[in-house]
Amino acid sequence: MGALVAAGTFLTAGPASAAPETTYYVSLGDSLSTGYQPDSDTDEPIAYSDRIFAALSADEPGLELKKFGCDGETSVSMVEGGHCSQYQQQSQLDAAAEFIEAHPGQIAYVTNDIGANDIFPCVSGGAGGGGSLSPSSGSAGSGSAGASVLPMAGCVAEKLGVIRTNLARIDARIRNAGGDGPVYVGMTYYNPMLAAWLQGGMQRALAAATVSADNLLSAVITSTNARYGWKTADVTAAFDTNDFTGDIALPGAGTVPTNVARICTWTWMCSLGDIHANPAGHQVIADTFLPLLTGENGADGSLGSAGSVADGPSGSSGSLGSVRALTGMGGS
């Protein structure tokens, strides 16, 4: 009788739960996508892509993250190669496209950030050409935020054309590889050169002039993405880049405009003279992407949650990080 009961139990028990189907979130980009942090001088698992993955995988247990990003990547090197050596294929674009093509029906999400490294030397007042900001230039307490800011209009116009051409190639290649199934989202950029506002005088006017260049870059990225079926996370707006209003208290610097406070709180620019987003900034970027990826909370627009200035770390410190990982200058 015991054997019969056991057998009956075995026969009526349901099948073991099947493992969830593997799907992929594919991330392309420069050092923002890889999470470069100047205090450790290495890529850290705090990138906006890591945070997006953590949020998405909570509801999609079979989701895996495949990161193709490379520190210092430009739109040119993403297409043509020559900067990053980790790809068996010629370029990051080739590597990502081949991976997507090899996993039909399994690609759920694709994100990309590219273009900042192309245009940064045009708005950095020569800092880009030297490879790093001055080691003595990163203190918000001293009112110094880096090299003189002087946007070069001819350079900006030339690089915007380069970005438009290359981003079109990137968007089209990835979209053709993945088809209509995945959600494709690119991003605009915050403007780290707003930190020069802390220097006072003419630097405030010059910092304001770099906002126009950032807006032009945003327009090129957004319009190109739309042409090829990509959405765009408006990080420029999430960082309040155009908002010179407000009197926000910034430790060591008095009161500053909203956009300057965002840069000083969500990047390393005012503490270490480094243009990369800090952990709080990466969360802001991730929050800007997520509604577009999930189709929730106003996904027909391009803005996510921007949080508050108080979200950032206070008194961030560490060894001075160079801009080389995002600009690709002065090192790999």
CB 323 within 8 A of CB 131: yes
As a whole number of angstroms, the distance between CA 217 and CA 115 comes to 8
Q: Which residue has the tokens 């051409």?
A: 165
**What does the pLDDT read at residue 252?**
87
In this prediction, residue 17 carries a pLDDT of 64
Work out the widest C-alpha separation in the chain, in whole angstroms: 94
Between CA 206 and CA 208 the distance in angstroms is 5
The pLDDT, as a whole number, for residue 328 is 32
- Cα separation of 241 and 211, whole Å? 7
Query: Quick check: pTM over 0.85?
Result: no
**Which of 131-140, 227-236, 300-309 is least confident?**
131-140
**pLDDT confidence band for 53 (50 / 70 / 90):** very high
Residue-level pLDDT at 301: 42
- Closest to 120 in 3D by CA, of 332, 325, 331: 325
| Cβ–Cβ < 8 Å for 34, 277 | no
pLDDT of 101 > 70? The answer is yes
How many whole angstroms separate alpha carbon 185 and alpha carbon 145? 32
Report the share of the chain in percent with pLDDT over 70.
76
Mean pLDDT of the chain: 82
pLDDT value for 149 = 62
Residue 79 in this model has a pLDDT that exceeds 70: yes
- The tokens of 19 are what? 């493992």
Per the CB < 8 A criterion, the answer to whether 206 and 237 are in contact is no
More confident residue, 89 or 143: 89
Local structure of residue 199 (DSSP, 8 states):
G
pLDDT at 124: 79
Q: How far, in Å, CA of 49 to CA of 75, rounded? A: 19
3-state helix, strand, coil in the chain (%, to 5): 45, 10, 40
Q: How far apart are CA 125 and CA 147, in angstroms?
A: 6
Total length of the chain: 332
- The answer to which of 162-171, 284-293, 296-305 has the lowest mean pLDDT is 296-305
Residue 165 makes CB contacts below 8 A (sequence gap 6+) with none
Binning pLDDT at 50, 70 and 90, where does residue 6 land?
Answer: very low
Residue 220, pLDDT above cutoff 50: yes
Residue 47 in this model has a pLDDT that exceeds 90? yes
The pLDDT confidence band at residue 304, using thresholds 50, 70 and 90, is very low
Token readout for 192 is 């780290």
Contact 184, 178 (CB under 8 A): yes
Distance CA(234)–CA(288), nearest Å, equals 7
Question: What are residue 245's phi and psi, to 5 degrees?
Answer: -85, 180
Among 11-15, 136-140, 141-145, 188-192, which range has the highest average pLDDT? 188-192
pLDDT in tens, 256-265: 999 999 999 9
- The residue that leads in pLDDT, 149 or 264, is 264
Average pLDDT over residues 49-77: 97
pLDDT for 152 = 85
* pLDDT per position as a tens digit, 182-198: 999 999 999 999 999 99
The Cα–Cα gap between 312 and 263 comes to 10
